[in-house]
Structure 1
């Protein structure tokens, strides 16, 4: 009887606490997103008989997690537990980057997927910025990355192409969906620019 009485008291207390203080057991549903860029403009048909291998993808430790990061003040950053990447952002970025090289025709093969082809170019990527800038009434999707392209696997040799790209794309709202749309638009534009510059530099 004492045990049942205690359970009854706990149940009554929990009910009263919930009603008085408005405590709810419901939480926002977690949502997962992917960066998906539009196809790069086709520059060569047929594609150039080149192959590439993305040797390294560096990403700043500030943004390597799956949770989205928002900049709320000059020195204040917040992570969003309920909105994030479906796969690690470095993998997502690498996949979209590689697709753009193939669609442009700058390269015929992605050696990361076709292991039996000979590699003509090695690529290193450094993703240094990936966040939503929510400091003002005009939020932005921020992304910055460096591309380094070598003609052989000797990283000591001078690269044949090296450039840093940065975009601050204005977005409609301070929310996760608008942020992803901004990243998609910014990267689509940047990849097109990058492939055009690559087409003039690679042999």
Structure 2
């Protein structure tokens, strides 16, 4: 899924919509440039984030105090409501109140411990030291290594392939790049979660 997030101080396609009301001719001729291969890359990099970077940007923009304040207001409104007599609706309200309490507790914990929510998204992959993932010589021609070495090798290979696709050719199909990004994410998931993708 994608989040649209215009970056300030850059002319973006999402901001150009208002310009059409004034019938400025130069915008009408500039728009198709955004949808060429090179132009779309610029458009995507400025306005659309996907994957972990999108989640990280959303977490970076959180104002924890506002989350606490809005959650408290909503919780108080739900607390003042009378039971409806409908068991399903009353349980739904109860679950919502429990959710709001957990949200406020988590936000307060982040504030109290001075933790930024964006720190929950990994930007750099931790690598175990070689002592914890040894390669052992059995015979002259035989090596035995830890399974984790194979996982790291797969990540490095897929990352290098993605880097080559992004840097060497401007005509690489977007679907191929997205497929390679998914393969890289699956390799990282396998390393961190023992194959549990998500």
TM-score interval for Structure 1 and Structure 2 normalised by the shorter chain? under 0.3
Q: Counting strand residues as a fraction of each chain, which structure ranks higher?
A: 1
Q: TM-score, normalised by structure 2?
A: 0.25
Question: Which structure is richer in relative contact order (CA contacts within 8 A, separation 6 or more)?
Answer: 1
Q: TM-score by structure 1 length?
A: 0.25
Q: Which structure has greater helix proportion? A: 2
